[in-house]
């Protein structure tokens, strides 16, 4: 969490997870913010959203946060982010789905950072990614910087 918040606060786009660069939020609500309008148009033009990847996780994790009980959400988190946990998961079908998600997300990251798309979209542009305000609930600022 601390490294994610540090990346956001310092506008270090390369360090952000793919999910934050291609989340469906951008194409649904991103145009509400003037400084991201070009980026949102770019995501739409190149069809760069994480939505296609999430099709593999819905059966296990649900479509929205809170649809499943906390234990299941913790299991989903480990399946998403722990290669070791995923490799040893007892249900082969679930393991395969989450491996497919990771491959899809990796491919999407490659597309977002493709030099042609990167220059067209302004990914990495300090102007696009300037932080105007930031609120965080939970971790103390001392652990972030």
Distance CA 31, CA 26 (A): 7
pLDDT at 127: 47
- Start-end of H helices in 10-138: 18-21, 24-29, 37-46, 51-54, 58-61, 70-81, 83-88, 92-112, 115-121
Distance CA 31, CA 23 (A): 13
Cβ-Cβ contacts under 8 Å for 128 (sequence gap 6 or more): 35, 36, 38, 39, 122
Assess whether pLDDT exceeds 50 at residue 144: no
Tens-digit pLDDT profile for residues 71-107: 999 999 999 989 999 999 999 999 999 999 999 988 8
Assess whether pLDDT exceeds 80 at residue 108: yes
CB burial class (10 A; 0-12, 13-18, 19+) of residue 65?
exposed
pLDDT at 25: 74
- Residue reference for tokens 């696009």: 128
pLDDT at 121: 65
Distance CA 27, CA 120 (A): 17
Tens-digit pLDDT profile for residues 26-77: 777 766 777 777 777 877 887 777 778 888 899 899 987 778 999 999 999 9
pLDDT at 78: 94
Assess whether pLDDT exceeds 70 at residue 131: no
Distance CA 142, CA 90 (A): 39
């Amino acid at each position: 969490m601390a490294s994610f918040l540090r990346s956001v606060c310092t506008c270090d786009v390369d360090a952000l997870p793919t999910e934050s660069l291609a989340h469906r939020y951008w194409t649904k609500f991103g145009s509400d913010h003037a400084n991201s309008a070009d980026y949102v148009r770019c995501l739409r033009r190149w069809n760069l959203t994480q939505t296609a990847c999430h099709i593999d996780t819905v059966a296990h994790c649900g479509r929205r946060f809170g649809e499943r009980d906390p234990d299941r959400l913790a299991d989903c988190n480990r399946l998403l982010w722990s290669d070791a946990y995923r490799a040893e998961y007892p249900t082969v079908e679930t393991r395969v789905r989450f491996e497919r998600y990771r491959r899809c997300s990796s491919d999407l990251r490659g597309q977002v950072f493709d030099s042609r798309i990167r220059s067209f979209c302004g990914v990495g542009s300090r102007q696009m990614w300037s932080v105007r305000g930031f609120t965080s609930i939970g971790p103390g600022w001392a652990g972030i910087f």
